[in-house]
């Protein structure tokens, strides 16, 4: 299950009710990880720092949307997403964030993982196919 970011909420509102064009669709979206719920406005994001710097977000491919029993639309990731091996302990990964850019950019969605994972030195965080489900109702 996913939540819209404040950026996405405002973009949809402006498009639907204010006659403002939607921002251009990103060519690629990227997955980032957090050790805390980032909230819709991303004010509480807890980024992963490795070797003194935030690690790189990973490209994310999503399936075409499908109807969910007439009550929404959903899609899941179509490939494994493998993050670099941790060189320091990252802590407990609890949330994911989907961005429209590799660096900076806008958060589009955020969600809590079904299972939190504690990543220590030498561990690799892997998100398997269909681990990410974006559901819009």
For residue 41, pLDDT over 90 is answered with no
Token reading at 97? 């964030």
For residue 1, pLDDT over 60 is answered with no
* pTM of this prediction exceeds 0.85: yes
The domain ranges of the chain are: 3-136
Vertex 96: Cα angle to 59 and 72 (nearest 5): 90
Spatial separation of the C-alpha atoms in residues 106 and 38, rounded to whole Å: 13
User: Which residues fall within 8 angstroms of residue 44, CB to CB, at 6 or more apart?
Assistant: 36, 37, 38
**Residue 134 has what pLDDT?**
86
Q: What is the pLDDT of residues 46-101, one digit of tens each?
A: 777 776 656 789 999 999 888 777 778 889 999 999 998 898 899 999 999 999 99
**Residue 82 has what pLDDT?**
94
Spatial separation of the C-alpha atoms in residues 126 and 87, rounded to whole Å: 15
Q: What is the DSSP letter of 62?
A: B
> Of all helices (H) and strands (E), which one includes residue 32?
strand 29-34
């Amino acid at each position: 299950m996913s939540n819209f970011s404040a950026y996405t909420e405002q973009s949809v509102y402006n498009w639907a009710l204010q006659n403002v064009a939607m921002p251009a669709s990103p060519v690629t979206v990227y997955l980032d990880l957090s050790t805390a719920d980032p909230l819709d406005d991303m004010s509480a994001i807890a980024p992963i720092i490795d070797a003194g710097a935030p690690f790189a977000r990973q490209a994310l491919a999503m399936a075409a949307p499908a109807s969910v029993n007439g009550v929404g639309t959903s899609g899941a990731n179509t490939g494994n997403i493998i993050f670099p091996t941790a060189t320091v302990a990252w802590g407990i990964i609890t949330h994911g964030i989907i961005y429209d850019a590799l660096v900076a950019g806008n958060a589009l969605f955020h969600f809590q993982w079904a299972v939190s994972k504690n990543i220590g030195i030498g561990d690799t965080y892997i998100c398997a196919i269909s681990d990410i489900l974006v559901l819009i109702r």
